[in-house]
Amino acid sequence: MATGQARRGRISRASEFERAYKRGRSVGGRHLVVYLFAGNGLSEARLGLSVSKRVGGAVERNRLKRLIREAFRLNWAERLRGCDVVVVARADSARLAEAGLSAVQAELDGLLGKAGAGEVGEGR
């Protein structure tokens, strides 16, 4: 990875998060809130994560982030080309991570479906 280059498929700049928050569709669930912004001008879907210390310690936060990234990669990355997705973890989301990948996938699938993810992106 070159210096100054963001990791592929990730949102890292505050302005990119702001754009998704202000101009994207949002849907909230018990453990996660999803912001979906179509039209990032790229040929790939990008994922941004916001997991605060209210979720738990570093181990719990990092586990949750890994599970969300994997669930997104498996089910949505190809279908949402050209979209930015920001996932915000709520304080109770450590329990979701304890339940495993299938629970994270189910929650993410439900929220993205409600946000209209099937209607946007290049993978329609």
Digit-coded pLDDT (tens) for 29-88: 999 999 999 987 888 999 999 999 999 999 999 999 999 999 999 999 899 988 999 999
Longest distance between any two alpha carbons in the chain, whole Å: 38
Q: What is the pLDDT of residue 68?
A: 97
Structural domains of the chain in order of their starting residue, each with its CATH number: 14-114 (3.30.230.10)
Q: From residue 117, give the alpha-carbon distance in Å to each of 1, 5, 90, 95.
A: 30, 27, 21, 25
Q: What is the pLDDT of residue 109?
A: 95
**What pairing do the DSSP bridges indicate for beta strands 46-50 and 83-89?**
parallel
pTM: 0.88
Q: What is the pLDDT of residue 118?
A: 73
Distance, in Å, from the CA atom of 15 to the CA atom of 12, rounded to the nearest integer, reads 9
